[in-house]
Structure 1
């Protein structure tokens, strides 16, 4: 039997505060009510509130000034991409913007990989591509597909591209199960991805960029249709 995680009071309070911050009940730049008032409002003790605060501070939604109070951080100006998974959980509207960046970055990575990759990386890409076709479920195909894109990023020789690729995958992790439709047919998923791998291993940067754009736009269309 699989043991499902159970929400704690801190989990529930963190979600409640997060939603109220992101929906504007507590506006950007404004200070939250005192801990005593908030604890009374939500029916929790101050220790529980501090634990929830700690998570939101770590996420970048809040900042604390000693002796002054805790206020809502201007995350759009000061935050980083690590906020994206949380923002996607709050609103699926972020997915379209993530996909726009995914397409631009993916095409750039493909071109760089074609220009810079070596024989060993070509062999790895072909092996990972073959794993897409032999995967035995939509979830497994999706994960195999992701590994191809991680390998493409590594093939650029630029570690920042690797981190950007990881960030984009993490961004839509909260809704990944709803984006599985392009991967339910292993043969079709393999056929969509193969031209990209072939262009990269052939060293044709222009064809690789075009193949990446074609692949990313096709899968984006299918995934957005599923979400709709």
Structure 2
């Protein structure tokens, strides 16, 4: 197995063990030599995996102490969302994360759409229409899904607040890493584009209230199709 793939797999296993509280917040992980042996990997691979978990806010390596498990609800940020969503899709995992990610996606998306309608430029409106057409004319579900994700990035850019852009980036990163599981709304790209049209039309028309309503309806419907509920 390639080293990167091995580290990816190790990150996933350690993440699941931390989130499942096999290693509770405040506890120390076993010494690196023992931990590497328990997962059947080298210490080098383990070190790479621990760096990634530290970047996500799950652990912290302290000099003279070892690697300590953090309370991710205090130390984690939006970059942890991809890990949490992947964990939520695992067997026996806490699927509330899945529900909560989609809730925030809908709430943030509605605010972003309303702001985009109020602040978008003529050039941004033209670009949004062109991107919606790219969804409709996509060659397959995967291409339509990626084209639709770009619509949300463009809406965030049009909203006139860079913090919303970063929030949307975090939500999209969480979603796109497991997008193959959520392809149902894009099985027919033409239908997907038609479903998206009221949202884009409202933003391009400069109608914030209509854009908010359209975004809520669109995101609620895609959520139903993605989750089957």
What's the TM-score once normalised by structure 2's chain length? 0.89
Q: Which moved more, 1:4-13 or 1:150-159?
A: 4-13
Runs of 4 or more consecutive aligned structure 1 residues displaced over 6 Å after TM superposition = 4-7
Deviation at 1:51, TM superposition (A): 2.9
Q: Using a 3 Å threshold, how does the CA distance of structure 1 residues 98 and 8 change in structure 2: closer, same or farther?
A: closer
Please, which moves more after superposition, 104-113 or 36-45?
36-45
1:201 corresponds to 2:204: yes
TM alignment of 1:105-124, pairs within 5 A: 105-124=108-127
Describe how 1:143-154 pairs up with structure 2 within 5 A. 143-154=146-157
Aligned twin of 1:52: 49
Q: Secondary structure at the match of 1:32?
A: coil
Structure 1 residue 217 corresponds to structure 2 residue 220 = yes
Q: Is 1:161–2:158 an aligned residue pair? A: no
The alignment partner of 2:177 has SS state of helix
Gaps of 5+ in 1: none
The offset of 1:218, in angstroms, is 0.6
Aligned to 2:78: 81
- Provide the C-alpha distance between the structure 1 equivalents of 2:130 and 2:48, rounded to a whole number of angstroms: 45
**TM-superposed deviation, 1:66:** 0.7
1:65-117 Cα deviation digits (max 9, x unpaired): 11122110111111101011111221232221111001100100111011111
CA distance in 1, matches of 2:209, 2:199: 11
Determine if contact 2:58/2:75 at 8 Å carries over to the other structure.
Answer: no
Q: Distance in 2 between matches of 1:16 and 1:191?
A: 40
Query: Mind listing any 5+ residue stretches in structure 2 that lack a counterpart?
Result: 90-94
1:16 corresponds in structure 2 to 13
Structure-2 residue corresponding to 1:192: 195
Equivalent pairs counted in the alignment come to 223
Contact 1:95 1:172 (C-alpha < 8 Å) held by counterparts? no
Q: Distance in 2 between matches of 1:150 and 1:42?
A: 39
Whole-angstrom distance in 2 between the partners of 1:189 and 1:11: 33
Larger Rg: 1
Q: Is the 8 A contact 2:10 2:49 kept in 1?
A: yes
Query: 1:102 aligns to what?
Result: 105
Mapped to 1, the partners of 2:47 and 2:4 lie a distance apart of 17
- Tell me which residue corresponds to 1:69: 66
**Greater CA deviation, 93-102 or 49-58?**
49-58
RMSD, aligned CA: 2.0
